[in-house]
């Protein structure tokens, strides 16, 4: 096994590229439809490191973690259309927030019930999961990096996300055929939808990626990373044990900087492929976390699955309660939930299945949850650490 940092980086990059290229193969595409490629990007390096084909520790992993996470988060943040988020309408905004609160409360209730059956550092895993379920995998990886959590915590959490999270996605697809009945039960049988004009630019055809555009995207991302890292180094760590570490400060700074700059013409880098570059960076980092993990962590999955089911029941229950009180149709329950648990890929799919003309609204709802998912899990982590103590 060659374990020089350069060789390890090249191996990780090659592996991620190979796994993505397999999406074009028919039977592999069907497998990815059941178990998403993001799971394989994490699991495959773990298997390779277990059999000694990849090192479980390498300087390459540390450097990639320091550079790629803030780089990816900045590019995702600077491309968010904040004014469009604010225009997406009261029902959409209320249900995204309700879904986030449901994940927040579900984490606290579930952890309180189940943590005595788990490892003493299990609160790290729950904090990571709260990031995954408020905005997606990028937020989950940011929490793992910020807490300096053992990569093993991701293994059972990934099982929960795949089984419970994607299982709920399947249920929502099936329930679309009965949405009118659910809406009547919620007291919204006569609700009138208005065609959504917001988010149309998210569906615009992007420009072909050119070398000049790529240079701007990469330069912006690393400049923001350098600025955030320098500022974070002079800020104090908060909490005992530290929750807001210097790494977390860097994440918060880089996201806030991205959101501020999204009001400038820099947001147009989205049409040049900035999001794709961001996710490539995040997936490379995810692969390094897999290589540092341990397959034995999957044996902890049963109790985590029970905790995950408890968690999602709280989340769904709160969404249904608010929808009933506010007389919102089931469309907003489904999209408000998926905006948190799924993200920008699955939410417009659910929105389009329920109301085809409102698919773009699903993108905006997911982006709103993505912003919340940078900040809320920090609070979750702090409270869980108190409960664990």
What's the pLDDT tens digit per position in 189-234?
777 765 544 444 454 556 777 888 889 999 999 999 999 989 989 9
* 90-138 residue pLDDT tens: 888 999 999 999 999 999 999 999 988 887 788 888 998 898 898 777 7
* pLDDT tens sequence across 224-283: 999 998 998 998 887 666 667 788 788 888 888 988 998 999 888 888 888 889 888 888
Angle formed at CA 151 by CA 40 and CA 146, multiple of 5 degrees: 115
Please name every residue paired with 238 in a beta bridge, in sequence order, or none if there are none. 244
3-class secondary-structure state, position 118: coil
pLDDT at 19: 92
Higher pLDDT, 12 or 28: 12
Domain range annotation of the chain: 82-274+297-388
Task: Compute CA distances 107 → 91, 115, 228, whole Å.
Answer: 24, 11, 29
Cis peptide leading into residue 241 (ω within 30°): yes
| pLDDT > 90? residue 318 | yes
pLDDT of residue 199: 47
Q: What's the length of the chain?
A: 389
Q: Is 57 left (phi over 0), alpha (psi -120 to 50) or beta?
A: beta
Residues 95/323, Cβ–Cβ less than 8 Å: yes
Query: Which pLDDT score, from 0 to 100, does residue 324 have?
Result: 95
Looking at residue 196, what is its pLDDT?
A: 47
- Our CA angle for 259, 17, 25, nearest 5°, is 115
Q: How far is CA 326 from CA 61, 92, 161, 377, in A?
A: 48, 12, 29, 27
Q: Is 384 left (phi over 0), alpha (psi -120 to 50) or beta?
A: alpha
pTM, entire model: 0.71
pLDDT at 15 over 60: yes
C-alpha span between 253 and 269 (Å, rounded): 20
């Amino acid at each position: 096994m060659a374990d020089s940092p350069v060789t390890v980086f090249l191996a990780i990059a090659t592996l991620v590229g190979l796994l993505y290229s397999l999406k074009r193969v028919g039977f592999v595409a069907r497998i990815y439809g059941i178990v998403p490629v993001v799971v394989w990007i994490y699991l495959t390096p773990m298997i390779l490191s277990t059999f000694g084909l990849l090192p479980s520790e390498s300087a390459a992993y540390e450097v990639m973690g320091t550079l790629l996470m803030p780089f990816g988060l900045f590019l995702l943040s600077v491309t968010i259309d904040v004014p469009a988020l604010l225009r997406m309408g009261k029902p959409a905004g209320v249900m995204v927030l309700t879904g986030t609160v449901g994940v927040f409360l579900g984490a606290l209730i579930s952890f309180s019930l189940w943590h005595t059956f788990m490892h003493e550092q299990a609160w790290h895993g729950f904090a990571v999961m709260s990031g995954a379920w408020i905005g997606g995998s990028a937020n989950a990886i940011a929490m793992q990096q910020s807490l300096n959590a053992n990569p093993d915590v991701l293994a059972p959490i990934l099982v929960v996300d795949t089984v419970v999270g994607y299982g709920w996605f399947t249920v929502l697809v099936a329930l679309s055929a009965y949405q009118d009945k659910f809406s009547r039960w919620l007291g919204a049988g006569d609700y009138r939808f208005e065609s959504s004009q917001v988010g149309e630019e998210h569906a615009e055809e992007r420009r072909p990626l050119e070398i000049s555009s790529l240079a701007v995207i990469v330069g912006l991302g690393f400049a923001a990373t350098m600025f955030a890292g320098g500022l974070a180094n002079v800020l104090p760590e908060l909490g005992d044990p530290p929750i807001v570490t210097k790494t977390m400060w860097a994440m918060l700074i880089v996201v806030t900087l991205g959101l501020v700059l999204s009001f400038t013409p820099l947001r147009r880098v989205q049409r040049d492929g900035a999001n794709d570059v961001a996710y490539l960076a995040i997936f490379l980092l995810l692969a390094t976390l897999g290589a540092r993990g341990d397959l034995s962590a999957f044996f902890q999955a049963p109790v985590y699955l029970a905790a995950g089911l408890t968690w999602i029941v709280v989340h769904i229950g709160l969404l249904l309660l608010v929808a009933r009180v506010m007389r919102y149709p089931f469309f907003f329950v489904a999209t408000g939930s998926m905006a948190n648990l799924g993200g920008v890929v699955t939410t417009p799919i659910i929105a389009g299945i329920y109301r085809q003309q409102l698919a773009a609204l699903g993108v905006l709802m997911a982006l709103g949850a993505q912003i919340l998912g940078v900040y809320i899990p920090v609070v979750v982590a702090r409270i869980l650490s108190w409960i664990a103590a």
